[in-house]
Amino acid sequence: MAGTDIKITSSSGPQFDAYLAMPASGAGPGVVVAPAVHGVNEGIRNFTDSLATAGCLAVALDMFWRTDPGPTGPDDGDRASKRAKPRIKLIEQGVADIADGLAYLKGLAGYNGRTATIGFCYGGPYAVLGATRLGCDAGISYHGTKVETYFDELELNSNGATISLHWGDLDHAAPPHCQEGAAELNAKMSNLDVIIYPGIKHGYMMPSAPAWDQGSFDTSWARTLEILTGLQDEPKRGAA
């Protein structure tokens, strides 16, 4: 089902753009989508719509609203990569945006008390930070960049959240030390799963990307649905 463009009031005062998609039932877990550097483009909108079809209250956030709002297009050159720097500083700043997105969803009548964050590429770290800092019940990252920066934090403070990290083994943004670190963490944490796709490059979840791969997408999506279905089926708890 198609969603709608909305405004979310930030904790710092100004409003920023987001895309909201609601399930037919109007009820379900709240899911915040953190896009890649390209922003809330057609692919992210379609994905957010799919989350709503799966029974979630889903909202995709414009993470670059402070300095360079809106999605990037094919004629924008290196605009996407430029606005994502300095990366770690911006990721830390964006935690407030994720919190604001969660607060918006928690204010909707159909919110069932469960939350998750889903991140693509640039947005990948929020799969971890949503759990460790914002109390989310689940976090899912597709070919996330700089996720390894937060491995120690994840191990120490996952709060029991279900975390699912997905990369291709040829992903330039997830070098060997990242994938090896993820595997080591996976062996220690029962609430973490790490899925590595052989022969797959960065961006396989995005249909418009050269690395798009249907098989890897299907596997990632199936795991995503499994996690989100659990958030629909489990008893409601207090807001995270």
Query: What is the structure's pLDDT at 165?
Result: 99
Q: Which residues of 1-19 are buried (b: 16+ CB within 10 A; e: fewer)?
A: eebeeeebebeeeeebbbb
**Model confidence pTM above 0.75:** yes
Q: What tokens does 87 get?
A: 């990366």
Give the H or E element holding residue 208.
Answer: none
Q: In angstroms, what CA-CA distances link 126 with 81, 86, 88, 99, 177?
A: 18, 16, 12, 10, 20
Strand partners, 61: 18
pLDDT by residue for the chain (240 residues), tens only, comes to 679 999 999 999 999 999 999 999 999 999 999 999 999 999 999 999 999 999 999 999 999 999 999 999 878 889 999 999 999 999 999 999 999 999 999 999 999 999 999 999 999 999 999 999 999 999 999 999 999 999 999 999 999 999 999 999 999 999 999 999 999 999 999 999 999 999 999 999 999 999 999 999 999 999 999 999 999 976 554 443
DSSP state of 29: E
**What per-residue confidence (pLDDT) applies to 235?**
54
Please tell me the predicted confidence (pLDDT) of residue 73: 86
Q: What fold characterizes domain 4-233?
A: Rossmann fold (3.40.50)
Give residue 2's pLDDT. 76
